[in-house]
Structure 1
Amino acid sequence: MPWLAQLDLDYSMAAERTRVHFHHDGPLRVLRSLYPEGDAICHNVLVHPPGGLVGGDTLDIRVRVQPQAHALVTTPGATRFYKTQGETATQRTHLQLDAGARLEWLPLEALAYNACDAHNQLTLALAPGAELIAWDITAFGLPHAGEPFVQGQFTQHMAWPGHWLEHGTLRAEDARLMDGPLGLAGQRCMGSLVLACGTPLTRVQREQLLDATRAVLDTHPQGAWCGITAPNEHMLVLRGLAPVVEPLMQLWQQVRACWRQQHWGLPGTAPRIWSM
């Protein structure tokens, strides 16, 4: 039987403390709230006990952050899209930020197993004054286990209506896309890291953030495989490739810490689960 799992997270600020209320249906939930940075920032770990999705499974995640609240959401491990017998495995995530809200959406990587048929969808809605740092990292196959991605497909859809849209399907059999110089160039991990702001960034802010990000890229071995752009006045988008997850994840964590300090004046505090 396919799994249908739903999780709604609703963050609010009360008495200078960000609190979360949640509702879940199926095997998807959050662990207890942590406050390693004080009451204003609520850290949560999203847990999916089955550990992955097979054909026909759906994970539906909706996050709302109310005015002035600040939430950080991550996961304890990778989201796995397993081999399918014909049906599509789907993960849908919708992030809604009210005026003045902040959210850090930082799940660990998605793993596309050989012969999977996966659809990973992320949509954003930001009110004026809201700000989001979010990333997505996807790895194809299990190279260390000798299980390359030679069959199957992975569809990625990321959108902030009116501001930003990225949509594409990577098919394992498409050698030009998977191995060509205008595609993945033989790399098997790709990632995007986004800073999205409901109120436009000034030109000075954009240039300072771009310069700070490039400085981080210049000092990291994987930086040459990455590029940072400001596609519009509301956003910065960093994209990168790597042979495996670890160097890209390390670099994304460094850039996220840079953005936190540069734009929010906050230290690059990492969730405790990343050290386990």
Structure 2
Amino acid sequence: MNNHAPLSVPTHHVKSRWLAHLNLELSLTDYGTQLTKTQRLGPLSVQKAFYPEGKDCAHIYLLHPPAGIVSGDELRISITNKAGAHSLITTPGGNRFYRAREDLNIGDTKQTQVTTINLEKHAKCENFPLETIVYNGADGFNQVDIHIQENSAYLGWDITCLGLPSSGQAFDKGAYTQLNRVFCKEKLIYHDRILISAENQLLNESAGLDNNSVFATFLAYAPEQLNDKEQRKTLVEDLREKISAVEAQSLLSITDIDGLLVIRYLGSQVAQCKQLFIILWQVLRPIILDKTGLQPRIWHT
């Protein structure tokens, strides 16, 4: 039975800023993976779990009706998969960090989103939000922390588009930080941080993004399924063959960091990045999760 309760925070909207929280808990029950606890504050929410693949994998759509983050906003999402639960998390649309406002009396123009995913033993999570669009002049900070056990599994990506290149609006003012961390049994095994700003010119430098407006990371970690080094080597070769087959060698790279597969995209098209990631996900999913790569219905709407 779902337990829907408000969070005990005194206020969620102060001086035109949202302090929004969403805490979800999924549990493996006799009826499959169920959304057993929902706590929310502010505009973050979910409707219900969907089961296009059957009862063991719950598809969850994160909803944020404002569809964007402005100065002073702080969004925190916490998802816990209890033992054996399997969730696929996605969004109905892209997230947006709008241009930072300069007329606020809140002391900070920062726009923050923090996502924390906790996986208990034998739990599985697929975290596939649609793209994050960073408007020119934004002051954004996006953090994703993954806590995994030695017998749980995680597949997840983040896709960032700087500016609105299709509308001729480059990202030449403001700042954006993307921080990704992975912990296994509470030991930090991966820490990746990038700060893009007008001052450091990392967007334009050849040692940075080399004038590419879209960068993305796809992480795959399953200590139990990917514990054999030779098996991982074969898997990486298979993934690279897929990349070569679609002539995307200049766009994607794959690195095996002691069992954590890190796939990076650097280019200029969000749709291209997503499609390439889906191709690789359809290779990884049967190996790590013993499931075919059935795309969520909402991706087709």
Per the TM superposition, whether the score is higher than 0.5 is: yes
Partner of 2:81: 65
- Deviation by residue 1:172-228 (Cα, 9 ceiling, x = unmatched): 3433x2122221111100000001224462113311321121122112243322110
Instruction: Write the distance in 1 (CA, Å) between the matches of 2:93 and 2:160.
Output: 13
RMSD: 1.3
Amino acid at match of 1:12: S
Q: CA deviation at 1:16?
A: 4.8
- Deviation by residue 1:81-132 (Cα, 9 ceiling, x = unmatched): 0000251000000010000000000000100000000000011111121100
Instruction: Write the distance in 1 (CA, Å) between the matches of 2:67 and 2:84.
Output: 33
Partner of 1:157: 179
Q: CA deviation at 1:261?
A: 2.0
Q: Is the Cα–Cα contact under 8 Å of residues 222 and 242 in structure 1 kept in the other structure?
A: no
Report SS of the residue matched to 1:183. Answer: coil
Amino acid at match of 2:280: V
Report SS of the residue matched to 1:213. Answer: helix
Q: Is the Cα–Cα contact under 8 Å of residues 126 and 198 in structure 1 kept in the other structure?
A: no
Amino acid at match of 1:190: F
Count of residues in correspondence between the two structures: 274
Amino acid at match of 2:191: L
Instruction: Write the distance in 2 (CA, Å) between the matches of 1:263 and 1:32.
Output: 26
Change (3 A) 1:198 1:262: closer
Stretch moving more, 52-61 or 249-258: 249-258
Partner of 1:139: 161
Partner of 2:45: 29
Partner of 1:215: 241
1:168 counterpart (187, 194, 204): 194
- Give structure 1 regions of 4+ aligned residues with deviation exceeding 4 angstroms: none
Q: Is the Cα–Cα contact under 8 Å of residues 11 and 69 in structure 1 kept in the other structure?
A: yes
Instruction: Write the distance in 1 (CA, Å) between the matches of 2:125 and 2:22.
Output: 16
- Does 2:137 align with 1:115? yes
Amino acid at match of 2:267: A
Identity fraction in percent: 31
Q: Is the Cα–Cα contact under 8 Å of residues 150 and 173 in structure 1 kept in the other structure?
A: no
2:293 counterpart (250, 268, 275): 268
Q: Is there any run of 5+ residues in structure 2 with no aligned partner, and where?
A: 1-15, 103-108
Partner of 1:179: 204
Report SS of the residue matched to 1:215. Answer: helix
Q: Is the Cα–Cα contact under 8 Å of residues 61 and 93 in structure 1 kept in the other structure?
A: yes
Partner of 2:62: 46
Partner of 2:106: none
TM-score, reference length from structure 2: 0.88
Q: Is the Cα–Cα contact under 8 Å of residues 222 and 288 in structure 2 kept in the other structure?
A: no
Partner of 2:110: 88
Partner of 1:204: 230
Partner of 1:74: 90
Report SS of the residue matched to 2:238. Answer: helix
Stretch moving more, 128-137 or 214-223: 214-223
Q: CA deviation at 1:266?
A: 1.1
Amino acid at match of 2:33: T
TM-score, reference length from structure 1: 0.95
Instruction: Write the distance in 1 (CA, Å) between the matches of 2:57 and 2:158.
Output: 21
Instruction: Write the distance in 1 (CA, Å) between the matches of 2:31 and 2:233.
Output: 32
Report SS of the residue matched to 1:3. Answer: strand
- Does 2:20 align with 1:5? yes
- Does 2:265 align with 1:250? no
